[in-house]
Amino acid sequence: MTNTNDPAELDEVHEADYEIESMPDETSTTDKSYSQGQLVLRRFFRHRGAMVSLTILVFITLLAFTSIGFGPIPGWWGKNHIDLYPIVEVAGAPTLTLWPFSLGEHPFGQTTIGKDYFALVMLGTQNSLAIAFTVGLAATLIGTFIGATAGYFRGLSEAFLMRVTDLFIIIPTLVLAAVLGRMAGNVGGIFALAGMLALVSWTGLARLVRGEVLSLREREFVAAARAVGTSPWRIIVRHILPNALGTIIVNATLLISSAILVETALSYLGFGVRPPNTSLGLLISENQNALSTRPWLFWWPGVFIVGIALVVNFIGDGLRDAFDPRQQMD
């Protein structure tokens, strides 16, 4: 125990030690300056669940895009999703063995007519991922724009934009997406479909961003910016949105995982991706009758859907904890 009240001891302390305002150079143990973004990244990289999930997601993405190639670029997997191959195993069962590890001729098995199922699942994963990320990005842009405009300007524009949002919310997403999806399917391509999905899934984000902007616009640094004559759009883009980034990023991640499920549901119902192109949902739909006879035709796309949706959710969780450490459990 140290007796802190010993006057002799205190007299020796130099007066400068009692300076309240020590300059940052003297106080900080490190020269490194952390911005808020860097602090968030630091916490994110320490979130074990999110890092494992991120690794898995990167692995799945790499696997899907390098194995069968993308567009004109060929992949390392010799087979494609169109050709028919002679059936190797009984009923086209998977040749994948884990111990000793070997891929065999058709690791995920073959369809009833002899197509390579690995190539099909990889193509489906490519399409599902592309759709999910496009939807995530586009819906985030739309939602952020509408939410920020409504939240910052208030008044009539807010009333109009939020009623439009309500209108989109009261129509069941799946019904709207089915109608739009069929139209998009006719126009062509998975990106048209993704665009249509984005048009129906921005609503939740728009409401969240509006709420966030409503509270941020009352903060003093916004008042300070207005007081020097900053224009409204500059305030929104430079001052408000960077501070709402946490909400936006976290919800964009969750949008992505829900987009995968919506796309799957649509394709399963026959409104999404059309053959000969394929998606994970379509694969399940086509092979639902084979569950008892050729279960792998059902399981492989199922595992990928659940896997992707789970890891994306985990990443979202990690991001939320990183942006708001107070929410973490002790």
Partner 1 sequence: MTTTPRFTGEQPVLKFDSLDVQFRTEFGSVHAVKGITLSVAPGEVMALVGESGSGKSVTATTALGLLPKSATIDGETFVTDKSIGTLGGRQLRAMRGNRVAMVFQEPMTALNPVITIGEQLTESMEVHGVAFGAEAWDRAVELLDAVGIPGAERRAKQFPHELSGGMRQRVVIAMALTCDPDVIIADEPTTALDVTVQADILDLLRSLKDKLNTGILLITHNMGVVADMADNVAVMFKGTIVERGPVEQVLLQPQHAYTKKLLAAVPRLGKGHGQFGVAPHPVEEGAQTALDVRDLVVEYHRAGKKPFRAVDGVSFDVHRGEIVGLVGESGSGKSTIGRALLGLIPSESGEVRVLDQDLLGIRGAQLKSLRRRIGVIFQDPAASLNPRFPIGDVIAEPLSVHKEGSAKEREARVHELLDAVHLPRTVYNRYPHELSGGQRQRVSIARALALSPDLLIADEPTSALDVSVQASVLAMFTELQREFGFACLFISHDLAVIDSLAHRVVVMQFGKIVEKGTREEVLLDPREEYTRRLLAAAPVPNPIEQRQRREARHELLRGFGDEVVEFDTRELDQGGWSKRSQD
Confirm if 169 and 200 have CB atoms less than 8 A apart. Answer: no
The DSSP code for 294 is -
Stretch that binds partner 1, among 33-41, 97-105, 287-295, 297-305 (CB under 8 A): 33-41
C-alpha span between 203 and 208 (Å, rounded): 9
Residue numbers 53-92 binding partner 1 by CB under 8 A? none
**Least CB distance from residue 165 to partner 1, whole Å?**
22
Asked if 174 and 262 touch (Cβ cutoff 8 Å), the reply is yes
> Does residue number 243 form part of the binding site for partner 1 (CB under 8 A)?
yes
> Any contact of residue 224 with partner 1 (CB under 8 A)?
yes
Is there binding between residue 1 and partner 1 (CB under 8 A)? Answer: yes
Measured distance CA(38)–CA(33) in Å, rounded: 9
Per the CB < 8 A criterion, the answer to whether 51 and 311 are in contact is no
Token code pair at residue 188: 């062509």
User: Does residue 12 bind partner 1 (CB under 8 A)?
Assistant: no
Decide if residue 229 touches partner 1 (CB under 8 A): yes
Regarding 328 and contact with partner 1 (CB under 8 A), the answer is no
Among 45, 59, 191, 221, binds partner 1 (CB under 8 A): 221
Q: Which of 8, 12, 20, 292 binds partner 1 (CB under 8 A)?
A: 20
Contact between 35 and partner 1 by CB under 8 A: the answer reads yes
Is residue 123 within 8 Å of residue 300, measured between CB atoms?
Answer: no
Using DSSP's 3-state secondary structure scheme, residue 1 falls into: coil
Stretch that binds partner 1, among 10-18, 59-67, 96-104, 121-129 (CB under 8 A): 10-18
Interface with partner 1, residue 34, by CB under 8 A = yes
Q: Find the part of the chain contacting partner 1 (CB under 8 A) among 51-59, 122-130, 237-245, 307-315.
A: 237-245
Determine whether 28 is exposed, middle or buried from the number of CB atoms within 10 Å of its CB (0-12, 13-18, 19+): exposed
210 binds partner 1, rule: CB under 8 A = no
With 0-12 CB in 10 A as exposed, 13-18 as middle and 19+ as buried, what is 175?
A: exposed
Stretch binding partner 1 (CB under 8 A), from 34-42, 110-118, 270-278, 290-298: 34-42
8 A C-beta contact, residue 206 and residue 165:
yes
Distance in angstroms (rounded) separating the CA atoms of residues 145 and 139: 10
Nearest distance from residue 7's CB to partner 1, in Å?
7
Residue 230's alpha-carbon distances to 38, 221, 226, 241, in angstroms, are 27, 12, 5, 15
Q: Under the criterion CB under 8 A, does residue 155 sit at the interface with partner 1?
A: no
In whole angstroms, the minimum distance from the beta carbon of 49 to partner 1 comes to 18
**In the range 41-60, which residues lie near partner 1 by CB under 8 A?**
42-43
Q: Is the dihedral of CA 216, 230, 206, 126 positive or negative?
A: negative
Residue numbers of the site for partner 1 (CB under 8 A)? 1-2, 4-5, 7, 10, 13, 15, 18, 20-25, 28, 33-37, 42-43, 219-221, 223-231, 234, 239, 242-243, 325, 330
